[in-house]
């Protein structure tokens, strides 16, 4: 068979990703996976559609896991998903418990539907160990079942990447691991974050005391109004019944950090900064984890409005403890993620922004040095900070890093890898 001429006058020109309509690349579905502690987690699947041009990674399953206080929009607010679909990757986006579609409302709905109790930690009672011990295993098993694969590829951003480090050290479900903006030594080289972690317990205690005072005041006010209404009713004062207060006020507790509300407020500041010079000085404080020059302002505002979630107090406190102690560990089992770094021997790509205060050369070096992977990429993305790594202008080169790793695995599945480490 004569191959088409790709260089001559009658050459067939392959389209670029920008020339292909996004919706033509996939069929989107959602499915639910159940954790061992009764959470129902939603995975959004972008199943690739065969195209008339070559798709070198067609059908390769890739699980995407978002970071702290995020949801599926961390991956869909930019062109990340589209670029990987262009190569034919079968994308599965997990939303961790309490995030996005894996909401508290969904748990109540399914508990009623199947006649079971909701999860014990439903009201923001979970921690990072819950993500690691329950959510990740359920999601990995779900993707393997749906795709009928024994092993899959994993890509995590920020906290999602940190969970990936830990999982890869003790499981054999991954064919390759990609982390984006994921530190291995949280807080190393970031003095401000280390300082904040020291005050974490004090802040929590202060909030508890403040709320306790408010609860006493609210209950006293309610009791006083109820007593006054009874006295007036006994005296048969007209309209006394209207003064009767409603139900006893609920007890206020510090269960979560309202990151969603904070990010929505930040989006409002950014929008005002574009039209009102008065707000311009505030824009820098809002975008300190992103480089506005490397992302679209409209995409960033959309992500801030739609991509934020409440994060439980226990998750925040575990992060602070990790920073203070220099740890990366599952406290329920005693498993030390860092000791597992040397057990990672699958192809791995560690990608981070050179302006990122969280994930940097300093805070990712230990996993790079410890891992035994023959294919090991450790690369900063120039001009990028933390947020835009999954939705900014340099998505294409990051997706090519993902593509190269998966292609390497495809060509080495039946023979031992021999490539040297990449840096």
3-state secondary structure of 382: coil
pLDDT tens, position by position, 82-104: 999 999 999 999 999 999 999 99
Under the banding of pLDDT at 50, 70 and 90, the label for residue 71 is: very high
With CA atoms as reference, report the closest residue to 320 among 190, 202, 201.
201
Per-residue pLDDT tens digits for 384-407 = 999 999 999 999 999 999 999 999
168-202 pLDDT per residue, tens? 999 999 999 999 999 999 999 888 888 888 887 87
- pTM of the predicted structure, to 2 decimals: 0.90
Task: Please report where in the chains the tokens 């900064």 appear, as a residue.
Answer: 273
Q: Quick one: which H or E segment has residue 379? A: strand 376-381
Residues 6+ apart with CB under 8 A from 413: none
Q: Is the distance from CB of 342 to CB of 370 less than 8 angstroms?
A: yes
What phi and psi, each to the nearest 5 degrees, are found at residue 76? -105, -5
What does the block give as tokens for 338? 């860092």
- Of 41, 43, 38, 42, the residue nearest 115 (C-alpha): 38
The CA-based dihedral angle spanning residues 286, 288, 289, 290, taken in that order and rounded to the nearest 10 degrees: 90
Q: What single string gives the DSSP state of each residue in 5-26?
A: -SSSTTPPPPPPGGGS-GGGGE
Q: What is the pLDDT of residue 241?
A: 66
Mean pLDDT for the chain overall = 89
Give the pLDDT band of residue 1 (cuts 50, 70, 90): very low
> Could you give the 3-state DSSP secondary structure of residue 380?
strand
Distance (Å) of CA 367 to CA 186, 189, 327 = 12, 15, 13
Write phi, then psi, for 336 (nearest 5 degrees). Answer: -95, 110
Count how many residues are written for the chain.
Answer: 423
How confident is the model at residue 419, as a pLDDT? 47
């Amino acid at each position: 068979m004569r191959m088409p001429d790709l260089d001559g006058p009658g050459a067939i020109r392959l389209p670029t990703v920008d020339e292909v309509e996004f919706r033509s690349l996939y069929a989107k579905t959602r499915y639910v996976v159940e954790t061992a502690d009764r959470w129902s987690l939603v995975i959004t699947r972008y199943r690739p559609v065969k195209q008339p041009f070559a798709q070198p990674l067609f059908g390769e399953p890739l699980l995407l896991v978002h970071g702290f206080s995020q949801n599926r929009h961390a991956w869909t607010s930019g062109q990340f998903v589209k670029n990987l679909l262009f190569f034919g990757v079968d994308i599965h986006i997990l939303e961790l418990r309490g995030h996005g579609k894996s909401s508290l409302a969904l748990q109540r709905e399914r508990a009623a539907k199947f006649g079971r109790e909701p999860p014990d930690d439903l009201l923001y009672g979970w921690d990072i160990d819950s993500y690691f011990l329950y959510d990740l295993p359920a999601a990995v098993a779900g993707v393997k079942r749906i795709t009928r694969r024994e092993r899959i590829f994993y890509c995590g951003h920020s906290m999602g990447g940190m969970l990936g480090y830990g999982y890869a050290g003790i499981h054999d479900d991954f064919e390759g691991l990609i982390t984006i903006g994921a530190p291995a030594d949280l807080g190393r080289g970031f003095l401000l974050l280390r300082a904040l972690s020291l005050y974490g317990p004090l802040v929590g205690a202060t909030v508890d005391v403040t709320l306790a005072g408010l609860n006493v005041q609210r209950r006293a006010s309610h009791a006083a109004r109820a007593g006054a209404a009874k006295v007036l009713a006994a005296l048969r004062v007209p309209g006394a019944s209207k003064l009767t207060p409603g139900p006893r006020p609920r007890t206020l507790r510090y269960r979560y950090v309202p990151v969603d509300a904070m990010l929505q407020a930040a989006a409002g500041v950014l929008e005002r900064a574009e039209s009102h010079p008065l707000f311009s000085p505030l824009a820098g404080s809002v975008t300190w984890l992103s480089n506005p020059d490397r992302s679209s302002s409209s995409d960033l505002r959309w992500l801030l409005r739609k991509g934020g979630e409440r994060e439980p107090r226990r998750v925040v406190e575990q992060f602070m403890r990790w920073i203070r102690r220099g740890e990366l560990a599952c406290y329920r089992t005693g498993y030390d993620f860092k000791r597992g770094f040397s057990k990672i021997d699958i192809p791995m790509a560690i990608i981070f922004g050179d302006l990122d205060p969280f994930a940097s050369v300093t805070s990712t070096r230990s996993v790079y040095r410890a891992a035994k992977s023959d294919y090991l990429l450790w690369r900063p993305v120039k001009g990028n900070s933390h947020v835009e790594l999954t939705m900014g202008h340099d998505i294409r080169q990051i997706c090519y890093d993902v593509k190269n790793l998966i292609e390497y695995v495809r060509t080495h599945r039946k023979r031992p890898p021999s490539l040297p480490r990449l840096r």
